[in-house]
Structure 1
Amino acid sequence: MFDILNKYTSQGNFFLTPEKDLPSVCNAPADTHGIFIIYALKKGRVELIYIGHSGKVEKDGSFSNKSNLKDEIINANQFGKTPAHIAWKKQMTRENIEALNIYWYATYNANNKDCPETLKKKLLRQHQDIFGSFPKWNKSV
């Protein structure tokens, strides 16, 4: 669905199940910025449920890198002010999700200078155009 992501050579994915700890299974790099896409696996079905990012370009053109890709995946606030490594496991239990398949893409590094925030907005709009809504864990662009 997101062919635009094929150009990124630094990419990967990992699975999170309710019995695993996010910091121990996350294989995203800690020295780069980019986007991540989360798919929920539930009752033999796969659903894209979240698109996230780390880093953005400020109005003055500088790159704001408060957290790297790995840190954003593990520690960003989700569902209020709860870090993802806690919130996602709780939400998986609430929604009876068997596993999360988390794909990450380094979009702002030595090889690419694509703003993660801008790319996330583009992907959210593309999802909305196809499905009529944002992924269920995303509130808005």
Structure 2
Amino acid sequence: MLRRRINNKNKMIQILKNIPFFSTLSDQDLQVIAEKVTMEYYPASYTLFNEGDPGDIMYIIKTGSAEVVRNNAIVATLGAGDFFGEMALVSDEPRNATLKITAEMEVLTLKKEDFRHLLETNANIASMVSYEVVKRVNEND
């Protein structure tokens, strides 16, 4: 795994704008997020985390793909623009699935404490995340 922080905020804002999860946010909101995220790279065939692991990071896929595995069955395939790991940050529950990378992946990561700070201090981001969490809960039922 390779990790780096992109120091050019304008470049990070452009990356965030191209991710559907963030595309509706203002430049001001994106700037707040850009200050908190880190870019990480993972090789194909890497298991990022296992079902039952504690969750302290949210991931947003910039490039690559992964499989979400629950009870040894593939339940979803994720690609560029998708995000995962947010449920463990919201609920404080362990990871509810295993994530296996299928194609070399570049992700933006957001730590739990930064994620919670963003939710507490930014209504636009909190609203967007709430909508996505409700959608995910409904999809998993």
- Superposition TM-score tier, normalisation by shorter sequence: 0.3 to 0.5
* Normalised TM-score (structure 2): 0.39
The structure, 1 or 2, with the larger RCO (C-alpha pairs under 8 Å, 6+ apart) is 1
Q: Give 1 or 2: higher helix fraction.
A: 2
